[in-house]
Chains A and B, each alone.
Chain A
């Protein structure tokens, strides 16, 4: 079976830093950024390569900030 690798794209300006996605990520790929967006919120970001493309973060995100992409490797 082909392995699936994932990646996320974050709409930084729409993120309000509620941190719901942090607990939803099974591989602890997401962390809050040190930087802030235009409104002053720390936004979420992908910190390492462990994303499996499970889309948990995108499902729980209340503002639809996250887009998940999957590739077969």
Chain B
């Protein structure tokens, strides 16, 4: 954690974080509620600070394909958008995953479906953790729950993306993007030079040198057997990610009778609900998955063995609840509570739901 302390919006913290993580390029298209990312980058002029490119593309489809080009050169590139924009990007995301290219895509979810509202929602869980685009692929999905995490996850995101050569989604929503909190700012990391990229990422297409074969980056292979081998290689990589990169947070789960499972904004509200519930004498705990894929399966299973009831709180009709049900013991009831369309649940609502579902029986 750095020493410099600032008061920032979540979107601004993310934008500052990518500059300091040594990103090479941002390609985006404005959409509420994440426009502050590009606004901040345009005002901050990282092209003067570090040489980072900031470009407004003509559409979301253009920006995701610019990412494809930038990432193929081994550059740290990113984009950000909101739900409808992410839907437009799905083809490109599938291509990036198929071609094993690292990048960060930030999604500030809003109430849907369709154009929906511009208020916060969490209904893109299925789209980003289960697929969204075509083909057998998975994306690393990390969900920050505070402005500090918006800052921290930019650097972690790039690390994971390049470690596994896969796109990383930072899944947030309008509430965290727009809220202002204090943020500890880290030091500036230098951008990699072309020589360093050549050395670190031998797959990067930075021009052929006499001592090696041509690097070709593509997701197309018309030979089905070779394509199957490529798929098996991808699956092996996803397995490795599932084993090594699970992140989660448990609060008061040790002695809890009832556990709330929630991520992002819902987790913050649930934390308050937990405090109110504990004051009333209900032993409530909070389990917050930080990586939504890889999902903390084993940890949910362990936790579910010792509790009387699990409630998932999401700003959706119930998406993560399916993963929680799949990965918890049969004897533990798993229920869902959610508001949709951009309405945020209140802590008291959640406590009432727990009382009605579990405590009163």
Contacts and interface: CB of A to CB of B under 8 A. Distances in A.
A60 B35 CA distance: 23
B180 A41 contact: no
Interface of B: prevailing SS: loop
A34 B143 CA distance: 33
Interface in A1-57: 16-18, 39-41
A18 to B, nearest CB: 7
Contacts of A17: 119
Contact of A18 (B32, B35, B118, B178): B178
Interface in B210-267: none
A41 B179 contact: no
A39 B179 contact: no
B180 A62 contact: yes
Nearest to A62: B180
A63 B35 contact: no
B180 A39 contact: no
B50 to A, nearest CB: 28
Contact of A40 (B118, B178, B179, B180): B118
Contacts of A16: 33, 178
Contacts of A39: 32-33, 35, 118
A40 B119 CA distance: 10
A41 B178 CA distance: 12
A56 to B, nearest CB: 18
A28 B64 CA distance: 46
A53 to B, nearest CB: 25
A62 B181 CA distance: 9
Given A39-B35, A40-B32, A41-B32, A62 B179 contact: yes
Interface string B46-79: 0000000000000000000000000000000000
A62 B182 CA distance: 12
A40 B180 CA distance: 19
Contacts of A41: 32, 118
B131 to A, nearest CB: 29
A10 B180 CA distance: 19
A16 B119 CA distance: 9
A39 B178 CA distance: 12
B32 A63 contact: no
A40 B179 CA distance: 17
Contacts of B119: 17
A65 B32 CA distance: 18
Interface in B102-120: 118-119
Interface in B160-202: 178-180
Scoring B32, B33, B179, B180 by chain A CB atoms within 10 A of each residue's CB, the highest score goes to B32
Contacts of A63: 180
Interface of B: 32-33, 35, 118-119, 178-180
Given A39-B33, A39-B118, A62-B180, 12 more contacts: A16-B33, A16-B178, A17-B119, A18-B178, A39-B32, A39-B35, A40-B32, A40-B118, A41-B32, A41-B118, A62-B179, A63-B180
Interface of A: 16-18, 39-41, 62-63
Q: Which 5 A-B pairs have the closest CB atoms?
A: A39-B32, A40-B118, A40-B32, A16-B178, A62-B180
7 contacts: A16-B33, A18-B178, A39-B118, A41-B32, A62-B179, A62-B180, A63-B180
